[in-house]
Structure 1
Amino acid sequence: MKVWDLFIRFFHWTLVLGCVTAFISGEVHASEIHVLTGYALCALLVARVYWGFKGSEFARFRSFIFSVGETLAYVRSMFGKHPCKHYFGHNPAGALMVFTLLGLLASLMVTGLVTLAAIDFEGPLVFLANVVSDETSYAFRHVHEFLSTVGLVLVAFHLMGVVGGSIQHNENLVKAMVTGKKELPANQNENGER
């Protein structure tokens, strides 16, 4: 079954490449590469938000908004033998991770742009250079650096979730993010019910 459209797959793998590039360039102080990668990630994030409202069925945010109860039930079931329900798009735990990562990415963008403007006197928010104090500027930079560390932790959880979900549902989620297709599990209909 076709689940992930071309844009979602492009977004996912470009985001991976962009975040790796941004992290490494930040660590080795390759500021020009870091800034250019940051701008590209900003554009990618804006495109994903647009696609979350106008894209294909499984790309739309409304397709993976779950209640707190359903999310907690799914997370509890992850620690059992089989999750209670299979989802073709994002499952409740995956959806929570997607929204968390998008929020983190937006926070990284804002703190990065403020840092660029207030400390380096560059970028689209350069008007903040004379408005933000030095203390506040460096606080934004520290938050930006801290958020990148938080991102590493979230990526580790994301990878564990992909491996766990692949095992529990007997499906290759990495392959699905490459091909865009998921196989319908045996004895299950398109609503995810057994």
Structure 2
Amino acid sequence: MAQAHQLIDVRKNGAFIFNDILLIDYRQQNLVQLLQEIATQRTHLEHMMKRYLREDERMLGQEKANVANALHMIIRNLAALYLRVYDPEFAAAFGDGLEVSEGKDGFLVKGKMDVEEVNIHFSVSKWATDYLDKSVHELIDAFQEAARDRKITLEEKVLLINKIRTILLQCIQSFYLIRTGAVFR
């Protein structure tokens, strides 16, 4: 199966552009469906990590590809969630940082990786357990809190976008490490 994503122009300072197709029309998805898909993929990644655990702590080629595909699906759904929540009319309120936009054939993510975090000592299982699991739960809780009164305010949207940006950047960094370098568990 051909890969439909491209990680373009990763610089030494960590700046990157990630381009991908959108498999779904995010405008037709409700927030709950997107959040459920992210949670499902996170659980899938967690099960993969448990299954792939070996004594030498190194993932094999197909295992790395499976983990990369799970991360790729999380990235796609986070980008769709971002596009669904983001309101271009109030762009200034959302501030700077990771930029997600809709392109001709999909979406484009521009940002800068944290060069301190992108290193050979990265542990995908530790990251999935310590960071991703907690972050996805916090994101779901934040959405539930924001949607409690059936209306998400601009202030709540800014908070949600910042949470999505943080998780999306972490997922792209992990994806980059798995696709390009030795990733230890």
Q: TM-score range by the shorter chain?
A: 0.3 to 0.5
After TM superposition, the score normalised by the length of structure 2 is 0.37
Greater strand fraction, Structure 1 or Structure 2: 2
Which gives a bigger RCO, structure 1 or 2 (Cα 8 Å, sep 6+)? 2
Greater helix fraction, Structure 1 or Structure 2: 1
Higher Rg: 1
